[in-house]
Amino acid sequence: MAFKLKTKLLAGFMLLVSLLIVAGSVSILEFMKLSTSFTTILENNYKSIEASKTMLEALEREDSGILLLLLGEWEEGRTILRESDKLFMKAYTVAKNNITEENEAELIADIESKYLQYKEKWARPIVDTFKEGNIDWYQNNAHQEFIQLKKTINQLMTINQESLYEEATILRDNGHRAVMPGIISLIGAIVFSLLLNFYLNQQFISPVKELTKAIKRFNPGDYQVHSKNKSKDEIFQLEVEINDMLKRIARKNDTR
């Protein structure tokens, strides 16, 4: 079956384009996966980490509020405790609705239980009671529960930080895999370009050169050029037309 030069060239370039499209599609899919994984991390681990930090910050404020109550500063102490409680519960709700890791549910339940116990220490009156100015009561009761609650919250934050690190490591590896199709396509394009160049040289440049040499070797007595071109493409047809033209010229000369 004879293939025209146009068909040969088109087939070569279409193969090159197909290679780039496949590699580009794979890269796009990998980057889409990376984007999804990144969004998942933000919605899961990072959100829980930020909620844990907020709970710790609220606890620190509540501890300061209790100390103010011990000093008899009722109004300022209660204001700080009230605002800190709202901040803590808001962050706690975020963490509670964002359970994604193993044992996280148990930690959330433990935080809730310990916080309710801790809250009882300052929810009841402190000013004008035996607790006011009573450092021993603070150290042995409120502060101990404060420390235990912070420890549990830190555990919650730690498991999410560790998971975040693991996910980041996976994302890094996936990022490398996402880049690989692009690198492979570039190498493939270079290799294929070299092969295409060789192909074009064999199918187009060399036959043209061979035909040119045959024309230069042309002997008027033969009335025909002879090249080594065996293909049935346009170059072969050109050689045929040249030989036909020479034959017509020969016949015309013979009729004179």
Clarify whether residues 155 and 211 are in a common domain.
Answer: no
Cα-based angle 74, 80, 85 (whole degrees, multiple of 5): 120
Domain of 217, in residue numbers: 198-255
Q: Could you read off the pLDDT tens digit of each residue along the chain, which spans 256 residues? A: 445 666 766 776 777 677 677 766 766 676 666 655 555 656 677 888 899 999 999 999 999 999 998 888 889 999 999 999 999 999 999 999 988 888 889 999 999 999 999 998 888 878 778 888 888 888 888 899 999 999 999 999 998 888 877 776 766 666 666 667 667 767 777 777 777 777 777 767 777 777 777 777 766 666 666 666 666 667 777 777 777 777 777 777 666 5
Clarify whether residues 234 and 138 are in a common domain.
Answer: no
pLDDT score at 2? 46
pLDDT score at 86? 95
Total domain count, the chain: 2
DSSP type of residue 1: -
Is residue 4 one of the residues assigned to a domain? no
Clarify whether residues 116 and 210 are in a common domain.
Answer: no
Task: Please give the torsion angle defined by the CA atoms of residues 134, 138, 139 and 143, in that order, rounded to the nearest 10 degrees.
Answer: -170
3-state secondary structure labels for all residues of 42-106:
HHHHHHHHHHHHHHHHHHHHHHHHHHHHHCCCHHHHHHHHHHHHHHHHHHHHHHHCCCCCCCHHH
Q: What whole-number distance in Å separates Cα of residue 85 and Cα of residue 116? A: 11
Clarify whether residues 105 and 159 are in a common domain.
Answer: yes
DSSP type of residue 133: T
pLDDT score at 57? 95
CA 211 to each of CA 34, 199, 204, 215: distance values in angstroms, whole numbers, following the listed order: 56, 18, 11, 6
Clarify whether residues 70 and 116 are in a common domain.
Answer: yes
Q: Please, which residues have CB within 8 angstroms of residue 250's CB and are 6 or more apart in sequence?
A: 223
Clarify whether residues 123 and 168 are in a common domain.
Answer: yes
